[in-house]
Amino acid sequence: MLIIGLTGSIATGKSTVSNLLRSPPYSLPVIDADILARKVVEPGTSGYNAILAHFLPTTPDLLQSPDECGGENGPEGKGRPLNRPALGRRVFGDSAERQRDRKVLNGIVHPAVRWEMYKHMAYYYVTGHWAVVLDIPLLFESGWERFCGCIIVVSVSDPVVQMERLRERDSHLTEEDARNRVGSQTDVREKAKRAQARGEGWGEVVLNDGSKEKVKTEVERVIEDVRRRSPKWWNWLLWWPPMGIMAASWSFLRSWRMQNQWEEEKRKDKARL
C-alpha cells in the first residue's frame, strides 16, 4: 500500500485537495490528522485531562462557557469542550513563552494522534486499498516524512493570498492572530522545495493560486503520475506480507535518507551565513 503524505500550511487549500482525493474518481481513504487531533482531546480523554492540568490554571477561558456547550459538565457529562480560539492564543506566536506552550501542547497531542494513525493505516492495508492519504499539516515537522512513499505539498506563491484566505475563513481572527498562526508554521514555499528535493515521483507540488478547476487539473496530473509509478500488479504483490514488509522497509530507509540529506543541507546553509 502506497502512503501519500499530504501537507501544506494554514489556508493554502490543503482541505480542498484532501476532499478531491477522497471523492470519485480517486476515492482514496484519507486519514486527517486535524480530525484525529480533535478526537484525542475530547472531554474525558487523557489528552483533554493533560491539557487542562497544564493550561487551565493560567487560562481562565480555556473551556467553553456552560451556555455554549449545554451545561457545566458539557453535552455528554464528561466536561466542557476546549475553547480552541483561547488555546490558540496561548500557543501561536514567536515569543519564547508561546513556543514553550506549543511544545507542551504538541507533546500531549502528537503521540495520541500517531497511535490513531497507525491503527487506521493497518485497517486500510488489510482491507486491500492501493493507497492511503495522510493529511498532516505538520508532516515534515513531526517526522512523518519518512513513512511516506510520495509527498504532495499544497502551496501558494504569494503569502498575502494565504493571509487573506485565513482571515476570510476564520473571521474572528485579528490581523495579528492571523500573522501569528501563519508565522508559527514553516513557510509553505520551503515545504514545496523540500518535497521537490525528494525527486520525481517522491515529491509533488500542487500550486493553489487560481481557481478550483485549476486545482482539479493539478490533482489529476499528480495522481496520474503516482498511479503510473504504482501499478495494480505491484499493489497486489504488496498484499503478500513478506513483500509488503520489504517494500515498506526500503521506502522508509529511502525517505529517512532524503530527510537527513535535506536537514544536512539546511545546516550547511546556516553555517555559511
**Residue 205, phi then psi, degrees to nearest 5:** -125, 130
- Indicate whether 126 pLDDT > 80: yes
User: What is the per-residue pLDDT for 251?
Assistant: 85
User: What is the per-residue pLDDT for 273?
Assistant: 63
Provide the pairing of β-strand 131-135 with 150-155: unpaired
Q: How many helices (H) and strands (E) does the chain have?
A: 12, 5
Which range, 122-126, 139-143, 231-235, is most confident?
122-126
Q: For domain 35-128, give the fold.
A: Rossmann fold (3.40.50)
**pLDDT, greater one: 50 or 141:** 50
**In the predicted model, what is the mean pLDDT of residues 69-94?**
82
Mean pLDDT for all residues in the chain: 86
- Indicate whether 118 pLDDT > 90: yes
- Indicate whether 101 pLDDT > 80: yes
Q: Could you give the CA distance from residue 38 to residue 61 in angstroms, rounded to a whole number?
A: 18
1-29+130-273: in CATH 3.40.50.300: yes
Percent of the chain with pLDDT over 70: 100
User: What is the per-residue pLDDT for 20?
Assistant: 95
- Indicate whether 172 pLDDT > 90: no
Q: Could you give the CA distance from residue 49 to residue 44 in angstroms, rounded to a whole number?
A: 7
The pLDDT tens digits of the residues spanning 181-197 come to 777 777 888 899 999 88
- Residue 206 pairs in a beta bridge with 154
- Indicate whether 174 pLDDT > 80: no
Q: Which three cell numbers stand for residue 157?
A: 506563491
- Indicate whether 234 pLDDT > 80: no
Two domains, one topology: 1-29+130-273 and 35-128: yes
User: What is the per-residue pLDDT for 227?
Assistant: 86
Q: Could you give the CA distance from residue 261 to residue 198 in angstroms, rounded to a whole number?
A: 10
Q: Where are the domains of the chain?
A: 1-29+130-273, 35-128
- Indicate whether 138 pLDDT > 90: no
